[in-house]
């Protein structure tokens, strides 16, 4: 909990710094230097590390960040609420919900698609390491910001994915993808992209592919999962999704 608290403090401070202009940052640095010079009484030489620490303390004071004990009580209550799908306006019949008991703390979950932007919050609240990919930079920035404000960013990273490019990330335990998530992507490139995600998934990994209303049919991708090492897992889903299908990678 102490480590999580320190990460919470650092995330809030860094988020505040990113919201400031260069001029505002420089003025904050001048304020930190003046405060150090007043307290030091010329007994030591100011260093860059000392100034940075002083700036962080000034920001923490401005933000009125909670003490550890107060934060801990709030965090435990908040985390319980965050693990409820309804907190993120996710329906209880969403196809991801039956998969949540399979996710263990630290499992690497990859979410692909702008339409699935609420899922990273729910998955991060279940202590998964979440990688989020979307073609829309505004969506990626919005998800990143809320992850920080909700204190969910301990093991989260987001990328703007364009073309057939994939970042370097750990093996996938659970993939949730909206088919057709990357616009203007040729069908052959999208198949190659999905094949690469499939190759990065070890035994017992799970892929849940959802075609949103108006999206391409899942049958386009079904051929990739006809290998003996992949089995279709039954999963219940809400009619708000046009189609959804789940595959589990088994040992050959």
pLDDT tens figures, 150-167:
888 778 999 998 777 788
Lowest-confidence region among 105-109, 165-169, 224-228: 224-228
> Mean pLDDT throughout 184-209?
84
* Predicted pLDDT of residue 107: 95
Residue 238 banded pLDDT, cuts 50, 70, 90: low
Q: Regarding predicted confidence, which is higher, 121 or 1?
A: 121
Is the pLDDT confidence value at 84 over 80? yes
> Mean pLDDT throughout 226-238?
76
* Predicted pLDDT of residue 141: 92
DSSP state string for 144-187 = HHHHHHTT-GGGEEEEE--TT-----PPPSEEEEETT-STT--H
Q: Return all residues near 24 (Cβ < 8 A) that are at least 6 apart.
A: none
Question: Which strand (E) or helix (H) includes residue 190?
Answer: helix 187-199
For 44, phi then psi, to 5°, come to -150, 165
CA distance 166 to 189: 12
> Mean pLDDT throughout 105-132?
94
Nearest to 221 by CA among 243, 240, 204, 252: 243
* Predicted pLDDT of residue 85: 94
Do 206 and 246 contact (CB within 8 A), yes or no?
yes
pLDDT tens, residue by residue, 205-215: 999 988 776 66
* Predicted pLDDT of residue 221: 72
Do 121 and 146 contact (CB within 8 A), yes or no?
yes
pLDDT tens, residue by residue, 42-71: 555 556 777 788 888 888 888 888 888 888
């Amino acid at each position: 909990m102490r480590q999580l608290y320190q990460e919470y403090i650092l995330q809030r401070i860094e988020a505040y710094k990113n919201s400031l202009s260069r001029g505002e940052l420089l003025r904050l640095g001048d304020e930190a230097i003046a405060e150090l010079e007043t307290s030091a009484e010329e007994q030591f030489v100011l260093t860059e590390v000392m100034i940075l620490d002083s700036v962080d303390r000034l920001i923490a004071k401005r933000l009125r960040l909670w003490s550890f004990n107060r934060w801990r009580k709030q965090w435990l209550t908040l985390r319980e609420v965050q693990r409820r799908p309804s907190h993120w306006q996710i329906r209880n019949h969403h196809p991801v919900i039956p998969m949540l008991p399979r996710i263990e703390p630290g499992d690497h979950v990859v979410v692909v698609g702008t339409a699935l932007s609420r899922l990273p919050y729910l998955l991060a609240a279940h202590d998964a390491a979440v990688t989020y990919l979307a073609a829309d930079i505004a969506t990626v920035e919005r998800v990143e910001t809320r992850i920080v404000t909700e204190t969910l960013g301990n093991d989260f990273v987001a990328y703007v994915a364009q073309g057939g490019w994939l970042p370097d990330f750990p093996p996938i335990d659970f993939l949730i993808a909206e088919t057709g998530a990357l616009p203007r992507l040729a069908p052959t490139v999208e198949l190659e992209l999905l094949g690469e995600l499939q190759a990065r998934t070890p035994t017992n990994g799970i892929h849940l592919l959802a075609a949103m209303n108006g999206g391409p049919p899942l049958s386009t991708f079904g051929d990739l999962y006809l290998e003996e090492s992949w089995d279709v897992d039954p999963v219940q889903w809400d009619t708000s999704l046009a189609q959804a299908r789940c595959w589990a990678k088994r040992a050959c």
